[in-house]
Chain A
Amino acid sequence: MRLIIRDDPVSASSYIANYIIERINNFNPTKEHPFVLGLPTGSSPVSVYKVLVERYKAGDVSFENVVTFNMDEYIGIPREHPQSYHTYMYDHFFSHVNVHPSNIHILNGNAIDPETECVQYEAAIKAAGGIDLFLGGIGPDGHIAFNEPGSSLLSRTRVKTLAYDTILANSRFFGNDLEKVPKMALTVGVQTILEAREVVIIITGAHKSMALKKCVEDGVNHMWTLSSLQLHPHPMIVVDEDATLELQVKTVKYFKSIEAVATSQGFEQILPSKVRTGPRPRAIAKKIGAGPEIQEPGILEPQPVTSTLLTAPANEYPVRSHTPELIPDRMGSRITAH
């Protein structure tokens, strides 16, 4: 895992935006071979989008051949609702850049059959060749997308009932009227995110420092779903100083020193070529290779651990699950009656 620490939220955001732009430009996407980008909503990503829009307007990047998949959407509020994630994405990103609407995928919270919508969403990701880079944010409880504490780390795109705390927290966006707050959402699963070839997470603010600690210093735990990132071959977390509040000093120093050394060696981006360019069609790869396949010096792509350690077949995952998923049984129930 790479942990990048920046002084403030603005520089953390521009680090990520610049990183994404560099990835897209090196990828050199075409119509036949688009760059597939996973996108989040929330407060932390706002400034990432801001930089992406600025750089687009400056002519530094084009999203013409970028295909996007969003993480989640509420169920049962109109697409045009000011709080819908469609609106968020339109206002902060899509209306300002040249992503073609036919390349945009956002879960339809008004689908007649939400479960089918989820299955089709997974299929669409697969059809697009998988996600090259999934950008994400987290909640203060370390949840990624709507995969709240207790979500299965093998979960896929599905219907989720929101935790009561989340509904309460959201009510401020719905005129403080609990009745109006959506109670359910569609969300990609933890596994959906982990299957992306690269995952980049932005975490800013002191209120998320405990989540960062749990996900970086502690073990993999479904109560902090982001911790599953430890099982991913290419995760990167970009944070501001405030978010490191709960980290041990030595953790902070360790990751800072790694970055310093990597920078001094000109070795900042250490993705294997397959991850950098995505699965190019065979014919094109041959043309470039012109003879024996050229090996990337020194870097072999590690296999995602999740794919081997956690080998439950996809069709076993229930499409629908409810929060809270973790229901510890009473100790008393384990004592057999005399």
Chain B
Amino acid sequence: MPSAIPTGNERITKFTNCRLVKGDELVEQDLWVSSETGKIVRSQEVFYGKHEVPDNIINLGGRIISPGLIDVQLNGAFGFNFSTIPDDVSSYGKVLKQVNKSLVQTGVTSYLPTLTSSRPEVYHQALPFLGPSGGPRRAEDGAESLGAHCEGPFISPTKNGIHPVEVIVPAVNGFSDLEKMYGASNIYPTVSPIDGALLPPKIRKITAAPEIAKMTQTIPELISRGIIYSMGHTEATYEEASAAVAAGGTMITHLFNAMRPLHHRNPGVFGVLGLAESLPRPYFGVIADGIHLHPTSIKIAFNAHPDGFILVTDAMHLVGLPDGVYEWNNDGERLVKTGPSLTLEGTNKIAGSSITLIECVTNFLNWSGASVPQALKAVTATPAAMLGLGGVKGSLEGDADADLVIIDEEIDESGMKNLRIDQVWKFGNSTHWFVAIEEDIGQPKMKSGELI
């Protein structure tokens, strides 16, 4: 048999004594990741086929390994609002890089930076920075943008939430209005200057109200460019929502919030979660911060369509900052932060949240009776599937990107569960260790690289 020829740059880490989040189950299984490829290693194939053994072994003492968390609705973080263009535009990219490095510490390894309804110049200036950022596959870059999420401005002026009404517009001319608003270079796939490969557009997802102007007819134009259409901030009836799904809409933005409530005569947007009209059921985002939604509403939504259930933070840039009044947008409006609650100054309007994604998972876990893997699926495999990235993100199967969070499950005296993030890994490299974990397994040690 041929012997292994070490190339010297392989760095395979094996996690052992751990439980992997796979589907709705926790599976006791080892996991191998490669810092060289940044992917999860098909360990059995590499072992038999290439005679490779791990370079280091981490005994996780029964901890849970989850795919890295994915937040598909994040408006900003660590004091930086994606929708606020600084006076010095060139600093936008620099600050964004810092935000990515900080964000990964919260366990969010990839996300959709979300722009709230803005004037065209904001999109033209911000979107070039917000496109997919994982190309170089560098762990030190921190959290990775999977593309921007444009929430508005083609939304219903009566379901605007905190989006300023004066920037909300109808797409009367259909797709060309979107092109003008966001900028053609941000809405079309581009060709890589390096290898000529087709790159996805900067925009990954658009939230718009299907009943306004020509939006529903525009949906096929979006999906043909690889952009996901999500309905939200809408007055849509059940019939209008169904038409949007039939046209290719696959997502609902923060279900229940900024839409008509469920009415027994017309179930509105919520109705499309039912198995009706033989349409595919869309995915839907839910904010589990205890303010936006009653826990029972969340439970009902989950049970209506568990495989479509996605937890999002909708967090504003004020996460982690002290209470007070903060500048918000370019229009001079301000936000009041009182603990976890954010309101628009002078109103009672909820202005996003200031919660982290893992806190949303913990809340959902305690409110719903769902299992730990079910709750984690709502921020991993399900958002990945919604984005068309199944098997690449949000997965622990071989060849998926090795973005991981190592989680310890704590239960207090009253039976409340808490998921504590002990480590974060990005592209096969550890980025943060919050808890010291022993680095190798009991005696005798695996002597790697030793050939016979």
Contacts and interface: CB of A to CB of B under 8 A. Distances in A.
Given A62-B444, A100-B53, A124 B1 contact: yes
Contacts of B52: 101
A98 B446 contact: yes
B42 interface: yes
B452 interface: yes
Contacts of B1: 102, 105, 124
B44 A90 contact: yes
Interface string A93-129: 0110010111111100000000000000000100000
B44 A102 contact: no
B48 A98 contact: no
Interface centre among B1, B44, B447 (most CB of A within 10 A): B44
A57 interface: yes
Interface centre among B2, B47, B445 (most CB of A within 10 A): B47
A103 B3 CA distance: 9
B195 interface: no
Nearest to A31: B452
A64 B43 CA distance: 19
Q: Dominant SS at the B interface?
A: loop
A58 interface: yes
B450 interface: yes
Contacts of B442: 57-59
Interface residues of B, number: 25
Contacts, number: 61
B51 A100 contact: yes
Interface stretch (A16-24, A79-87, A138-146, A282-290): A79-87
B58 interface: no
B447 A98 contact: yes
Contacts of A9: none
B451 interface: yes
B27 to A, nearest CB: 12
Contact of B48 (A58, A64, A79): A79
Interface string B1-33: 111100000000000000000000000001000
Contact of A101 (B30, B53, B443): B53
Contact of B44 (A31, A34, A87, A98): A87
A139 to B, nearest CB: 26
A57 B30 CA distance: 15
A124 to B, nearest CB: 7
Contacts of B451: 100, 102
B44 A80 contact: yes
B441 interface: yes
A122 to B, nearest CB: 14
**Top-8 shortest CB links A-B:** A59-B443, A101-B51, A90-B44, A62-B444, A98-B446, A102-B51, A102-B3, A57-B442
Interface of A: 31, 34, 56-59, 62, 64-65, 79-80, 86-87, 90, 94-95, 98, 100-106, 124
29 contacts: A31-B452, A56-B444, A58-B442, A58-B443, A62-B444, A64-B444, A64-B447, A64-B450, A79-B45, A80-B42, A80-B44, A86-B44, A86-B48, A90-B44, A95-B30, A95-B44, A98-B444, A98-B445, A98-B446, A100-B51, A100-B450, A101-B48, A101-B51, A101-B52, A101-B53, A102-B1, A102-B2, A102-B4, A102-B451
Given A58-B442, A59-B442, 18 more contacts: A31-B452, A58-B443, A59-B444, A64-B444, A65-B452, A79-B48, A80-B45, A87-B44, A94-B47, A95-B43, A95-B44, A98-B445, A100-B451, A101-B4, A101-B48, A102-B51, A102-B451, A124-B1
